[in-house]
Amino acid sequence: MQTILGANGTIARELARHLPTLTTEPLRLVSRQPQRVNPRDELWPADLTDPARTERAVAGSSVVYLVAGLPYNTSTWQRDWPRIMTNVLAACEQHGAKLVFFDNVYMYGAVEGPMTEATPFNPISRKGEVRARIARQLLDAIQAGRVQALIARAADFYGPAITNAIPNMLILDNLKKGKAAQWPGGLDLPHSFTFTPDAGRATAVLGNTPGAFGQTWHLPTATPALTARQFAEQAAAHYGVAAKINSLPKLMMRAVGLFVEPVRESVEMFYQNDRPYVFDSSKFAKQFFAATPYREGIRLAAL
């Protein structure tokens, strides 16, 4: 049995599509209201903040993928992420299951130069502090020999049929409607984007590669990084519209955030958009496969 904790999200769906191509083991999808991706998926309703239900969801699993997403709210993250990581680690230890944790880059903080697997944790946001805390929980458990696990880390997402990714919402969706695209911060700074089908496929590959455990992996992300303006230009060509794009300054985001919670919760992450944001996944590419080029990824995302 291979088990996805946090089913229904974008990465979980892509992961579930790819796992049957790599293993004949049954697939269990776990979330509050799981939905099948493949006809034979086993559905398992559970709240991962509940240790007993998490333990039962993990029972019988050879590999567990923690790809849960929580509401984008700092207090929710501070309350629930440590509980979830504690519960999942305990369940995997009890049942001898390997763990694949799908992570982001918030714990790195403001980085000079490319982000690599060796980049130290230096969070400068409250959400980054949470991500650093749970990543350290996992790394400590690996070091102590409690679990076999790995971290699969991605940059900002874009991809087909996504409603909650910033490039999709602010660039693709606006251009598709004939409006000007928008982007927080600098329009001409390089910014890496991970294509969601690549992220799901790569996470599945890592979970089924015994030698990948005990390590952190940056998931395949195309190079060189595009700027927001270049991303908009490539997208606009698919829609046959002008590549108009406007910058959203931090002051404007603060003002809008007074009334719109998701915008308010994004302000502390603005540092990711006022300097180069370059994600290096060369370690993964050398051992497994290269990322989808931006031109092809944007074409597919713009359909």
Same domain, 177 and 92: no
Asked if residue 284 is part of any domain, the answer here is no
Which whole-number Å values give the CA distances from 159 to 34, 132, 173, in the listed order? 22, 26, 12
* Residues 40-49: tens digit of each pLDDT: 999 999 999 9
CATH label of the domain that carries residue 241 = 3.90.25
d(CA 91, CA 85): 10
Per the domain annotation, does 43 fall within a domain?
yes
Q: Are residues 151 and 231 in the same domain?
A: no
Separation of alpha carbons 53 and 187, rounded Å = 45
> Residue 58: is its pLDDT beyond 90?
yes
Number of compact structural domains in the chain? 2
Residues 252 and 107 in one domain: no
Does one domain contain both 246 and 114? no
Q: Is residue 208 part of a domain?
A: yes
Q: Which pLDDT belongs to residue 257?
A: 80
Q: What is the pLDDT of residues 130-189, one digit of tens each?
A: 999 999 999 999 999 999 999 999 999 999 989 889 999 999 999 999 999 999 999 999
Q: What are the tens digits of pLDDT across the range 99-145?
A: 999 999 999 999 999 999 999 999 999 999 999 999 999 999 999 99
Note whether 84 and 227 are same-domain residues. Answer: no
pLDDT over 80 (residue 208): yes
pLDDT of residue 247: 96
In a domain, 92, yes or no: yes
Percent of the chain residues past pLDDT 90, beyond the cut: 92
Domain final position from 218, 253, 271: 218
**Domain membership flag for residue 257:** yes
pLDDT at 163: 81
Residue 259 pLDDT class (50, 70, 90 cuts): confident
Q: Is residue 165 situated within a structural domain?
A: yes
**Mutual orientation of helices 10-18 and 196-207 as an angle, nearest 10°?**
50
Q: Are residues 227 and 202 part of one domain?
A: no
Segment (H or E) for 28: strand 27-31
Residues 96 and 73 in one domain: yes
Domain co-membership, 136 together with 262? no
Same domain, 132 and 43: yes
Give the DSSP H or E segment for 206. helix 196-207
CATH number for the domain spanning 33: value is: 3.40.50.720
- Give the C-alpha distances (Å, rounded to integers) separating 154 from 70, 95, 117, 248: 16, 28, 11, 24
State the DSSP code for 183.
Answer: E
Whether residue 295 is found in the same domain as residue 209:
no
Give yes or no: residues 207 and 68 share one domain.
Answer: yes
The reply to whether 132 and 253 lie within a common domain is no
Per the structure, the complete domain to which residue 107 belongs is given by 2-155+196-218
Dig out the tokens for 167 from the structure.
């490039």
In a domain, 146, yes or no: yes
- Mean pLDDT over residues 69-75, rounded? 94
